[in-house]
Structure 1
Amino acid sequence: MTADAARTDTIALMQRYYSAFNAGDWQGMLDCLSNDVTHDINQGERVVGKAAFAQFLGHMERCYKERLEDIVLMASDDGTRGAAEFVVHGAYLATDEGLPEANGQTYVLPAGAFLAIADGKIARLTMHYNLADWTKQVVG
């Protein structure tokens, strides 16, 4: 596979993943992941596997309503690494353990992700956003 084709395939995979996110299509997101996907949760633990990721999605759906805008996708020449930068537009719906109380506060937060790609699937997803900025927005 040429470098352009590998990069293009990785960008297309990430586009499918983030389009599914914005559509609330959790199965579509899961379909983009390897069975043993590693998920590094921002300011949190590392979880492994699609079942753990699906559980994370359920938790997120209960506590947050988010949409990603201004998405910029990048991929390495060999297609094994990707990165995404975006702005999260969200609402805090239900109190998340260890975080401030939720009452529908909205927030706008720059964020990013680093991805490893293997066999046409996302094998690792590492999320990053500024938790202090998010907390300041929801506390007021």
Structure 2
Amino acid sequence: MKGVEIVKAYYNSFNQKDWQGMLDLLDENIRHESNQGDVRVGKDKFTAFLQKMDDSYEETLTNMVFLAEETGTRVAVEFVVNGIYKKGEEGLPEAHGQTYVLPAGAFLEVKDGKITRVTTYYNLTLWIELVSK
């Protein structure tokens, strides 16, 4: 499978809430660079992140556009996050089922058939505004 196909499978698993399917596509030493906070390295830390996200948010990604350079080792993805804020997190607004629609993007690296890096960006200030209404 080419890099862009692996990344498409990763996000398809995300939209299906198939967390194991996502994890199966990751390298053991996955580098996860989220919009806020520390860099996580390793599948165990990524798994803990997925669990926390699943507890706090219900999200589906739409309007996905995949862009890859010619070797397929780097893939960019632009998408819209359609979410429900289920459980509040420290330092963020209180959760009570607020819905949000938020543009976002990610950059991924693929090596030897596995995703080795996921870097995600979105406008946190806009998200806070959307869930504070």
| TM-score between both structures, scaled by the size of structure 2 | 0.98
Aligned length: 133
Q: Which residue of 2 aligns with 1:35?
A: 28
Q: Percent identity?
A: 50
Separation in 2 of the partners of 1:79 and 1:73? 11
Aligned amino acid, residue 78 of structure 2: E
Question: For each residue in 1:80-136, what CA deviation from the matched residue of structure 2 results, as whole angstroms up to 9, or x when unmatched?
Answer: 111100000000000011101000000000000001111111100000000000000
Q: CA RMSD in A?
A: 0.9
Please give the residue correspondences for 1:93-112 in structure 2 after superposition, counting only pairs within 5 Å. Answer: 93-112=86-105
Match of 2:11 among 4, 14, 18: 18
Q: Which residue of 2 aligns with 1:53?
A: 46
Q: Which residue of 1 aligns with 2:62?
A: 69
Separation in 1 of the partners of 2:106 and 2:98? 24
Question: For each residue in 1:5-38, what CA deviation from the matched residue of structure 2 results, as whole angstroms up to 9, or x when unmatched?
Answer: xxx7111101100000000000000011100000
The unaligned stretches of length 5 or more in structure 2 are: none
SS in 1 for 2:100: strand
Q: Which residue of 1 aligns with 2:82?
A: 89
Separation in 1 of the partners of 2:55 and 2:105? 22
Q: Which residue of 1 aligns with 2:110?
A: 117
Q: Which residue of 2 aligns with 1:132?
A: 125
SS in 1 for 2:2: helix
Q: Per residue, is there more helix in 1 or in 2?
A: 1
Separation in 2 of the partners of 1:67 and 1:75? 22
Separation in 2 of the partners of 1:117 and 1:98? 33
Question: For each residue in 1:25-77, what CA deviation from the matched residue of structure 2 results, as whole angstroms up to 9, or x when unmatched?
Answer: 00000011100000001122100011100000000000000000001111111
Separation in 1 of the partners of 2:28 and 2:106? 19
